[in-house]
Amino acid sequence: MRQEIERAADEVVGRSLAEDIGLGDLTSRALFTPDDRCRAKVLLKEEGVVCGLAAFPIAFRLLDEGIEIETLVEDGERVSEVPQEIMRLSGYTRAILGAERVALNLLGRLSGVATLTRAFVSAVEGTGVSILDTRKTTPGLRVLEKYAVQVGGGVNHRLGLFDAVLVKDNHLRLAGGVKEAVRRLRGSVSLPLEVEADTLEQVEQALGLGVERILLDNMSPLDVATAVKLVAARAQLEVSGGVTLDNVRAYAETGVNAISIGALTHSARSLDISLEVLEP
């Protein structure tokens, strides 16, 4: 996973710099010479979980290989006293100003995902329930956002369509229902099967077919509790749909194994992080 994260960060930062700088930073090129240097500090201005410190320097080093960067916190560290200095930089002025926005965008985004994930994980503490992410990620940022979920204490459900089998409602409609979908899959794949169930009837069908994992989709906590009793630990149970910080504890206390939450990545708000140049 570490190599995938590094590769993804290199690709994302490279594309983002090309998008932002284009043929050149017109303002900085006009104001400063290639030899001008400066120092700067990075400030976290609101409470949250820091994430993306390894990816942050890539933008600056692509423009200035010799830039000096000192990291004052670690990924996964929750900062509560703000504003707090989390990094210091020293290098060529054009490079620092040119990479500033790309680096801050990425650091703020990943920190936001980690912070929201940590809030959900804290909300179910003591229940033994895992908080999972989904494929509802920002295009091009999936690997990095899923890393941020890990930093926040969550668990990656699946990276994509290629590493797990999950039969969702549209699959069921087109395949002719739970029984036919499971029959086809048993004959072609060796991975454990997970089937989405919108009703208790579908839960019974999946259970009768020996499905290893059942996704309880958009069910109330009461219906989920009923499904837990019905399944009686004969399959892993996952809840998804309509889960918020206000009700996640109620779902967790039903006895399910996991809760998947698309909001971890599709609704996380970027943390407020800024870069301030220091006086010469």
* Per-residue model confidence as pLDDT tens digits over 31-61: 999 999 999 999 999 999 999 998 999 999 9
Give the architecture (CATH level 2) of 122-266.
Answer: Alpha-Beta Barrel (3.20)
* Boundaries of every domain in the chain: 2-116+268-277, 122-266
Task: Quote the pLDDT of residue 4.
Answer: 84
**Spatial distance between the Cα atoms of 23 and 5, rounded to a whole number of angstroms:** 28
Task: Quote the pLDDT of residue 5.
Answer: 85
How do the pLDDT tens digits run along the chain, 280 residues long? 678 888 999 999 999 999 999 999 999 999 999 999 999 999 999 999 999 998 999 999 999 999 999 999 999 999 999 999 999 999 999 999 999 999 999 999 999 999 999 999 999 999 999 999 999 999 999 999 999 999 999 999 999 999 999 999 999 999 999 999 999 999 899 999 999 999 999 999 999 999 999 999 999 999 999 999 999 999 999 999 999 999 999 999 999 999 999 999 999 999 999 999 997 6
Q: What does DSSP say about strands 213-217 and 193-197: parallel, antiparallel, or unpaired?
A: parallel
What are the catalytic residues?
101, 136, 168, 196, 217
Task: Quote the pLDDT of residue 35.
Answer: 97
Task: Kindly write down the DSSP assignment for every residue of 236-252, as one continuous string.
Answer: EEEEESS--TTTHHHHH
Angle separating helix axes 56-63 and 2-21, nearest 10 degrees = 50
Sign of CA dihedral 267, 268, 269, 274: negative
Q: What kind and span of H or E run contains 149?
A: helix 142-151
Q: How far, in whole angstroms, is CA 211 from its chain's centroid?
A: 28
Task: Quote the pLDDT of residue 186.
Answer: 93
Task: Identify whether 83 is preceded by a cis peptide bond (ω within 30 of 0).
Answer: yes
Pick the CATH number of 2-116+268-277 from 1.20.1370.20, 3.90.1170.20, 3.30.460.80, 3.40.50.2300: 3.90.1170.20
Task: Quote the pLDDT of residue 2.
Answer: 73
**Spatial distance between the Cα atoms of 7 and 87, rounded to a whole number of angstroms:** 23
Q: What kind and span of H or E run contains 114?
A: helix 93-123
Task: Quote the pLDDT of residue 1.
Answer: 66
